[in-house]
């Protein structure tokens, strides 16, 4: 395989107001446009083959899913529109649950997410989410995520092998390793992961009645257990209220770790309004703005599960790049007005 000159990020995000001038002549950003295009067409093909429907969902919502859980530092982005306070969507998972009542095989989208958090090497204030929701539980969605990640990798490698080799500075061996892998991804419950990490406070953060894993913990777990590892069944208080729970009070959820850390988050939802009410109460979240969600569960009970894949984090792994800020063609930072 012949490799072109090394394609490197310009780090033009360090000068936000002139970033676009640099990006217009950059081979890195030209490559990103092509990768985004292929990822989109691959996503549409993958879900269309499975009978899911693409949802055209709004970017505003009165029913936020942030804070994501008591273990999250994510905050909602509140805006005023024509005298009415609303939020820019951190996720439209609730909308996908609604669409599952209209599309029997499930629904999906690719759209931006807005978070009230600082931009750093693994977080963007505005990023793209690839999300899907399907009938069924956690046992259905976990293998579906694995198949989707493999499909994206297959299609992107087939269309852009030379560019990806140029980006990583040689053969993209990490992509071949994934595609040559025949077994399912590794899987640990949170309890098992905490035990493997020795309950080290650098890796496992303990609060009053619940625990979460730090970014250092994600990296250490991958170092010990390998890339592409699920961490499932977290403490319920560390996850969003909408995650269903098992008979031990653990969340029926999973985070898929690879590349920069958590790239995919997924979970099974409460099937009934009564279960949602109990979860809202236990999380200390007011039910006022979720009345429609409760009514939907009462009117049309349905067991669903779904996931969200962070597109830019996936591209970090794909290109072997360690800074998510290199993947924002249009820069956006909370508290700044950046053009275009």
Kindly report which listed range (1-15, 156-170, 205-219) carries the lowest average pLDDT score: 1-15
In the predicted model, what is the mean pLDDT of residues 187-205?
Answer: 98
Q: Which tokens sit at 300?
A: 């049309």
pLDDT in tens, 264-304: 999 999 999 999 999 999 998 989 889 999 999 999 999 99
Distance of CA 174 to the CA centre of its chain: 20
pLDDT in tens, 111-155: 999 999 899 999 999 999 999 999 999 999 999 999 999 999 999
Could you state, in order of their start, the residue ranges of all structural domains in the chain?
A: 12-327
Q: What is the predicted pLDDT for the residue at 64?
A: 84
How far is residue 310's CA from residue 129's CA, in Å, rounded to a whole number?
5
- Per CATH, the homologous superfamily of domain 12-327 is Bira Bifunctional Protein; Domain 2 (3.30.930.10)
How far is residue 84's CA from residue 274's CA, in Å, rounded to a whole number?
30
Overall pTM surpassing 0.85 (yes/no): yes
Helix and strand counts by DSSP (H, E) for the chain? 10, 13
Longest dimension (CA), the chain: 60
pLDDT in tens, 149-165: 999 999 999 999 999 99
pLDDT in tens, 9-36: 999 999 999 999 999 999 999 999 999 9
**Does pLDDT of 214 surpass 80?**
yes
Q: Residue 32: is the preceding peptide bond cis (ω within 30°)?
A: no
Buried b (16+ CB within 10 A) or exposed e, 156-171: bbebbeebbbbbbeee
Q: What is the DSSP pairing of strand 229-232 with strand 186-189?
A: parallel
Q: What ranges in the chain are assigned the alpha helix state H? A: 19-23, 27-49, 93-100, 138-168, 173-180, 190-196, 215-225, 273-283, 291-299, 311-319
Q: Can you tell me whether residue 175 is helix, strand or coil?
A: helix
């Amino acid at each position: 395989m012949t490799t072109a000159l090394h394609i490197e990020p310009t780090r033009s995000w360090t000068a936000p107001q002139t970033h676009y001038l640099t990006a217009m002549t950059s081979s890195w950003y030209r490559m990103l446009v092509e990768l985004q295009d292929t990822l989109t067409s691959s996503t549409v093909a993958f879900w269309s083959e499975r009978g899911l429907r693409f949802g055209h969902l709004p970017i505003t919502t009165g029913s936020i899913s942030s804070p994501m859980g008591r273990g999250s530092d994510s905050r909602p982005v509140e805006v005023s529109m024509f005298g009415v306070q609303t939020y820019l969507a951190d996720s439209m998972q609730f909308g996908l649950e609604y669409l599952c009542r209209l599309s029997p095989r499930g629904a999906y989208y690719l759209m931006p997410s807005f978070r009230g958090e600082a931009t750093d090497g693994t977080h963007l204030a505005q990023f793209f989410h690839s999300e899907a929701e399907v009938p069924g539980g956690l046992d259905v969605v976990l293998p579906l995520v694995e198949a989707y990640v493999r499909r994206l990798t297959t299609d992107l490698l087939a269309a852009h092998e030379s560019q990806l080799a140029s980006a990583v500075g040689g053969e993209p061996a990490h992509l071949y390793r994934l595609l040559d892998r025949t077994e399912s991804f590794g899987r640990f419950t949170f309890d098992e992961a905490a035990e493997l990490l020795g309950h080290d406070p650098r890796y496992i953060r303990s609060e009053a009645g619940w625990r979460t894993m730090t970014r250092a913990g994600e990296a250490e777990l991958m170092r010990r257990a390998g890339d592409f590892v699920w961490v499932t069944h977290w403490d319920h208080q560390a996850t969003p209220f909408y995650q269903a729970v098992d008979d031990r009070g653990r969340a029926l959820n999973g985070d898929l770790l690879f590349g920069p850390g958590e790239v995919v988050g997924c979970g099974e939802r409460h099937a009934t309004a009564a279960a949602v009410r109990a979860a809202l109460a236990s999380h200390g979240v007011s039910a006022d703005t979720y009345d429609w969600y409760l009514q939907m569960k009462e009117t049309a009970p349905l067991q669903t599960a779904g996931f969200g894949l962070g597109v830019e984090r996936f591209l970090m792994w794909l290109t072997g790049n360690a800074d998510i800020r290199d993947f924002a063609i249009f820069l956006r930072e909370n508290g700044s007005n950046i053009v275009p």
